[in-house]
Amino acid sequence: MFARAIVIVLDSVGIGELPDAALYEDQGSNTLGNIAATVPLHLPTLVSLGLDRLVALPGVSPVMTPAGAFGRMAERSAGKDSVTGHWELMGIVLDRPFPTFPNGFSPELIQAFEKRIGRPSIGNVVASGTTIIDELGPRHMATGFPIVYTSADSVFQIAAHEAFVPVPQLYEWCAAAYDLAVLGLGLGRVIARPFIGLPGSFARTSNRHDYAMPPIAETLLDRLTAAGHHVTSVGKIADLFAGKGISESHPTRSDADGMDRVEALMATQERGLIFANLVDFDALYGHRNDTAGYGANLDRFDMRLAALLPQLRPDDLLVVTADHGNDPTTPSTDHAREFVPVLLYGAGVRAAVDLGTRATFADLGQTLAEVFAVGPLTHGKSFLSEIMVK
């Protein structure tokens, strides 16, 4: 019934704390619900697909009958980072989280990194990316020393000013850190964080690049490409899967650029999977506790989604979901352990189907595996029979 699937991950758009949120100090986190209670939202398109049935959205006008299927998914893996969330969406459930470094990296790791790149580094703290650039950017510009920092996630981040450290050189430094931290210690990701501007007005650029650990097991993407299906990634998807199971990759400069690329691909890619991540929700608004900006981005996405729906073909399956939370209304600037929405729409999808609470993100991967006849995967329970038009 479905020849093509378009999966759009709204990075960090969670819909309420998971039962184990206290273990992650995320009590009270509800990214979408708390934003809606703080700033006016409209979201008519998302609501038409059933979003308001999953989370309270004060002030948002409901619809009598949602046009698609809707549910919420719990993360079964340990952790709350983007790699863990995306891997679980595609069928991998981790029994332990990637290592984190709440006190910064060990002297041994930093010394080995500095030896590899031939110069000292500065920072080595847990910090917000924008804050540490503001604090250490001038010193970096004066010395050329890279800014190294981490967060509550399993990441080794390296920030450098593009006018003082060419982006290819920053990428070389990240490759060195990848060897030491990811391959050597099992860290989840190394992230290049280039920025521009002058002190007091620094801005990160779209030349960010993620160096993630390759998936530790077979994913839906591997199954699809092995079976001859075309898998196209948009945004940071290819980075999160270390390129495995990806036929074609399209990095993006913004969420608007990401939606432009999704629409362009829908006009040219006849079959297979278009898998997109819209990172601005997380990177520009969640991590900066910018509630108003996050809300405005939700409204912008809703308008783009309204324009995309008429472009769907009769044999398309559209999925809108998320990978974790990042509630900008809480004091924390880190990811949050939350349920995520799953909204499904297409001519072959029954209207007003309530999928309830799914035990794992992997239910989506298992469903897509059944759509493309490449399953079953190790984890997840397909809900294809529940959503298909009889």
Distance between CA 374 and CA 372 in Å, rounded?
6
Q: pLDDT digit string (tens) for 81-101?
A: 999 999 999 999 999 889 999
Residue 73: CA count within 13 A, CB half-sphere:
30
Q: How far is CA 243 from CA 189, 207, 215, 361, 372, in A?
A: 13, 17, 10, 21, 20
- pLDDT score recorded for residue 153: 87
CA nearest to 302, candidates 44, 62, 67, 12: 44
Burial (Cβ within 10 Å: 0-12, 13-18, ≥19) of residue 169 = middle
Q: Which pLDDT band holds residue 390 (cuts at 50, 70, 90)?
A: confident
Residue range 4-96+215-387, CATH number = 3.40.720.10
- pLDDT score recorded for residue 114: 98
Instruction: Classify residue 233 by its DSSP letter.
Output: E
- R_g (Cα) of the chain, nearest Å: 20
Mean local confidence (pLDDT), 231-240 = 97
Q: What is the mean pLDDT of the chain?
A: 97
Name the phi and psi angles at 272, rounded to 5: 90, -155
- pLDDT score recorded for residue 128: 87
Residue pair 366/379 in contact (Cβ under 8 Å)? The answer is yes
- pLDDT score recorded for residue 129: 86
Question: Global pTM?
Answer: 0.93
Residue with structure tokens 């959205």?
Answer: 57
Q: Is 273 helix (H, G, I), strand (E, B) or coil?
A: strand
- pLDDT score recorded for residue 69: 98
Q: pLDDT digit string (tens) for 99-131?
A: 999 999 999 999 999 999 999 999 999 998 889
Residue pair 374/224 in contact (Cβ under 8 Å)? The answer is yes
Q: Where are the domains of the chain?
A: 4-96+215-387, 107-212
Residue pair 322/11 in contact (Cβ under 8 Å)? The answer is yes
Helices (H) and strands (E) in the chain, counts: 14, 14
Label each residue of 31-45 as H, E or C. Answer: HHHHHHHHCCCCCHH
Distance between CA 340 and CA 133 in Å, rounded?
31
Q: Which pLDDT band holds residue 156 (cuts at 50, 70, 90)?
A: very high
Q: pLDDT digit string (tens) for 7-59?
A: 999 999 999 999 999 999 999 999 999 999 999 999 999 999 999 999 999 99
Mean local confidence (pLDDT), 299-315 = 98
Start-to-end C-alpha separation, the chain: 11
Distance between CA 281 and CA 254 in Å, rounded?
10
- Domain 107-212 architecture: 2-Layer Sandwich (3.30)
The continuous run of DSSP H or E covering 149 comes out as: strand 147-150
Q: pLDDT digit string (tens) for 329-381?
A: 999 999 999 999 999 999 999 999 999 999 999 999 999 999 999 999 999 99
- pLDDT score recorded for residue 1: 85
Mean local confidence (pLDDT), 203-229 = 96
Burial (Cβ within 10 Å: 0-12, 13-18, ≥19) of residue 170 = buried
Name the phi and psi angles at 88, rounded to 5: -65, -35
